[in-house]
Structure 1
């Protein structure tokens, strides 16, 4: 699987229960959500964008599915070395500083607000959350389901609006309310 940039013995598989890609080593019988040490992250990013991305955010029926009082949002996450879990599907070991992460996410925000791209399209290759495979779509959630800072920002948005940078223990987010 050299075009994915993974070390020898590793491959990308797809979890049917979570509907997300993961990394598997058959000889070691090891699976993990984050890429293994030694991964070429640029190759992996391109491979995942080509082979494991939703092409669009698909609407889900809301109230009919028991989603009363819940909202639906997508996000783009940039982690840094002081994040709660400083690793992601993109990088096994995130070493950037919070200041470097802020520079990155502010550049993403500028591209989105200028109309150059959408949050969902950018999330596919740039978000440090596994929701990147779903264009950042987190599905429906209610009060108490997310970290407080994230939840407060998301619930204060109107459908179609995008937040400015929101900081949580997970890292730095841009949030787009879908419904």
Structure 2
């Protein structure tokens, strides 16, 4: 019956500057400046890092449309994919195409060899909200390599486990 139908979420026409900047630029630039430090502080005191980056994003995006997202919804979980230290960042709800739903940052150096590497390399994966179909919410699997945004194709179900499995299939 019509009252049992799930109401389709209304997407915004454009991504929110604050949401996009935090996910696609701020976290990535901080990680790029010192990947090992990024992992250490995000694993031990992520709230302080998120607060600091959020303040910088708000300054950068001053004059943009009002911020209608709750930064308290952001969650950071340290984990491992194989031998690689990994950070899962769950973003506040995506409401426009290309907004990030989740981010996985993977150090591509095993923990045991971090001391021997001057600047560890990393990979930065993003699960973005895609153009929805009538049947389901669509996601897009992306990766940032240097300053290049790579579209790797259709994403996975927007759950942490599905995203972790997808990234693991690429990095292992």
Give the TM-score normalised by structure 2: 0.28
More helix by share: 2
More strand by share: 2
The structure showing larger relative contact order (alpha-carbon pairs under 8 Å, at least 6 residues apart) is 1
